[in-house]
Amino acid sequence: MKASHHWWQTDVVYQIYPRSFQDSNGDGIGDLPGIRQRLDYLQWLGIDAIWLSPIFPSPMADFGYDVANYVDVDPMFGTLAELDQLVSEAHQRGMRVLLDLVPNHSSDEHPWFVAARSSRDNPYRDWYIWRDPAPDGGPPNNWLSHFGGPAWSLDPTTGQYYLHLFDPKQADLNWRNPAVRQAIYDAMRFWFARGIDGFRIDVIWMLIKHPDLPDNPPDPQWKPGQPEQHRLLRRHDQHQPEVHAIIREMRMVADEYQDRVLIGEIYLPIDDLVAYYGENLDGVHLPFNFNLVTLGEWNAHAIRALVEHYERALPPGGWPNWVLGNHDQPRVASRLGQSMARLAQMLLLTLRGTPTLYYGDELGMEDVPIPSELVVDPQGIRTPGHGRDPERTPMQWDATPGAGFTTGTPWLPLAVDYPSRNVTRQQDDPQSMLALTHHLLELRRASAALNRGSYATVATSEPDLFAYLRQAGGEQVLVILNMGATPVTLDLSSVGPTGTIAASTGMQRTGHVTLDAVMLDAVEGLVIAIDED
């Protein structure tokens, strides 16, 4: 078959949080050789591409999102040679490997920042964003760190504040400085030349700030009791028009190599998000679409409206993508409950566009409550109760002590349910979330309608129902999701007379159905291959 689509359009991406996937040396922290040991599993599951959260040398103030060297591997995770080996073994299996580029900020221990803070006239000074104190000695403006507290810290040696939109140990780079741009582009080239297939780019919509750094206005929606850092609208410290020129340059770097992909981390509403495809599709290939994660209410009406809005807003040729979870968000099974999470998985894997799966969601892993003395996430430390440790706990492989993740003491506590919720158990249970995910991935791979076909909503009169048709060539696949608490019987004969059940989130239903009376249980989803006339 001639490739009418790029791999990153038809493939399924799986996010690995390296600290928590597989430990190979008993230190309680996952590593690269560990990931390599689990490639068999990922291949069995039906994953085509893995994205690794940062594995670069780092003081780990934000667990790798504070990079101290953009072109090496932290010894905690392994060596450059071990990364090469992982990449080559993944490639042998036809799997791609994406790394996580963190260009908005570096660690304060990066040699660039160490030099920059050494004196006001150091050549690296302008690689970061420095301002004099306000007249009262306080920070230069009212911007707030996403983790809590001011976005500025005073450097006592040089008497100026530096900007950090996240932790004080994550100093924002000055993207108005061409030398910064070149340095990061060179890091991209370093990895591309080593065979890395692409990058997920951290907080790409924050890269450049308003040139005058004006105060942010108050957010009228904010209420006391909500995290303090949400008090202001982020009007001037993100989503500035100049960001698109930078992204265009990054895209040109990627385009120096064959068929690489850039995925941008962007939390914006759809109409703003789609600008990140670039005016001529010269932006990122996939601006991450987190709208299923941030959706206020999870119901058929809201989801249908979201999908239709997104489909309408995409620029011509812009390829959609969907996400249900990541290392910054409460787990989908905790947000929605286990039954609804099964429907959500069916939705993710049957909508039009590239899906990204978060490790462990294929098991229905849930948020793990972390006792306050064990909280390690910088956001959880600065904003108690809003930490991200719960969704970052070790992968649950089996029922042995350490869950098959480690022989040592895991860096975050294991979920108490790991003896029953684990890969080994679920591989043997045809009703499990893992079996469902595996089956949906198999179906998706085999079906052009699902992995590249068109999308059309199917109208129904049932308010709790979301139905859509995926189509490619003569192949038609109908997806019906009953998000309501009562069973329904539907007439979908407008789509065709008969079909064959290809997947069900509920009891393993199979066989032929006549579409004038399709029955669904409460909270059940079905995938039906429409019979050709």
297 is catalytic: no
Q: Which is nearer to ligand GLC, 249 or 328 (CB)?
A: 328
The residues facing 527 across adjacent strands are: 479, 503
Least distance to ligand GLC from the beta carbon of 242, Å?
Answer: 20
Q: Which is nearer to ligand GLC, 166 or 418 (CB)?
A: 166
Q: Which is nearer to ligand GLC, 98 or 303 (CB)?
A: 98
Least distance to ligand GLC from the beta carbon of 100, Å?
Answer: 8
Secondary-structure breakdown of the chain: helix, strand, coil percentages, each rounded to the nearest 5: 30, 20, 50
Least distance to ligand GLC from the beta carbon of 102, Å?
Answer: 6
How many Cβ atoms sit within 10 Å of the Cβ of residue 218? 11
Asked if 102 interacts with ligand GLC (CB under 6 A), we say yes
Q: Which is nearer to ligand GLC, 102 or 303 (CB)?
A: 102
Exposed, middle or buried by CB within 10 Å (0-12, 13-18, 19+), for 257?
A: middle
Residues 6+ apart with CB under 8 A from 172: 104, 105, 128, 129, 162, 163, 164, 165, 209
- Of 62, 172, 197, 367, which lies in the binding site for ligand GLC, with binding defined by CB under 6 A? 62
Size of the site for ligand GLC (CB under 6 A): 9
Residues 306-345 that bind ligand GLC (CB under 6 A): 327-328
Q: Which is nearer to ligand GLC, 49 or 203 (CB)?
A: 203
Asked if 397 interacts with ligand GLC (CB under 6 A), we say no
Q: Tell me which of 155, 197, 202, 391 is the catalytic residue.
A: 202
Least distance to ligand GLC from the beta carbon of 197, Å?
Answer: 20
Asked if 65 interacts with ligand GLC (CB under 6 A), we say yes
Residue type, 381: I
- Is 160:117 a contact under the CB 8 Å cutoff? no
Extract the tokens encoding 84: 């090469």
The residues facing 476 across adjacent strands are: 471
Q: Tell me which of 74, 265, 367, 524 is the catalytic residue.
A: 265
Distances (CA, A) of 140 to 131, 150, 154, 206, 227: 6, 10, 10, 19, 22
Extract the tokens encoding 339: 């039954």
Q: Could you give the string, one character per residue 222-261, with x where binding to ligand GLC holds by CB under 6 A and - elsewhere?
A: ----------------------------------------
Mode of pairing for the β-strands spanning 96-101 and 198-201: parallel
How many Cβ atoms sit within 10 Å of the Cβ of residue 211? 10
- Is 397:423 a contact under the CB 8 Å cutoff? yes
Q: Which residue is nearest to ligand GLC (CB)?
A: 65
How many Cβ atoms sit within 10 Å of the Cβ of residue 506? 18
Q: Could you give the string, one character per residue 120-159, with x where binding to ligand GLC holds by CB under 6 A and - elsewhere?
A: ----------------------------------------
The residues facing 504 across adjacent strands are: 526
Q: Which is nearer to ligand GLC, 391 or 464 (CB)?
A: 391
Least distance to ligand GLC from the beta carbon of 80, Å?
Answer: 22
The residues facing 101 across adjacent strands are: 201
- Is 22:32 a contact under the CB 8 Å cutoff? no
- Is 406:399 a contact under the CB 8 Å cutoff? no
Least distance to ligand GLC from the beta carbon of 128, Å?
Answer: 15
- Of 128, 161, 162, 166, which lies in the binding site for ligand GLC, with binding defined by CB under 6 A? 166
Tell me the Cα Rg of the chain. Answer: 24
Q: Which of 422, 426, 447, 450 has the alpha carbon at shortest distance from 438?
A: 426
Distance CA 389, CA 207 (A): 25
Least distance to ligand GLC from the beta carbon of 200, Å?
Answer: 9
Distance CA 281, CA 290 (A): 20
Asked if 109 interacts with ligand GLC (CB under 6 A), we say no
Q: Which is nearer to ligand GLC, 267 or 466 (CB)?
A: 267
Asked if 199 interacts with ligand GLC (CB under 6 A), we say no
- Of 90, 203, 250, 266, which lies in the binding site for ligand GLC, with binding defined by CB under 6 A? 203
- Judged by DSSP in three states, 336 sits in helix
Q: Could you give the string, one character per residue 356-385, with x where binding to ligand GLC holds by CB under 6 A and - elsewhere?
A: ------------------------------
| Dihedral over Cα of 106, 80, 33, 423: its sign | positive
- Judged by DSSP in three states, 388 sits in coil
- Of 202, 237, 311, 391, which lies in the binding site for ligand GLC, with binding defined by CB under 6 A? 202
Mode of pairing for the β-strands spanning 354-358 and 49-52: unpaired
Q: Which is nearer to ligand GLC, 53 or 451 (CB)?
A: 53
Least distance to ligand GLC from the beta carbon of 52, Å?
Answer: 13
Helix axes 338-350, 433-446, angle to 10 degrees: 10
Least distance to ligand GLC from the beta carbon of 290, Å?
Answer: 10
82 is catalytic: no
Least distance to ligand GLC from the beta carbon of 205, Å?
Answer: 10
Q: Which of 101, 102, 97 has the alpha carbon at shortest distance from 51?
A: 97
Distance CA 249, CA 269 (A): 24
Angle at CA of residue 117, ends 55 and 203, nearest 5°? 40
Residues in contact with ligand GLC by CB under 6 A are 62, 65, 102, 166, 202-203, 265, 327-328
Supply the residues annotated as catalytic: 202, 265
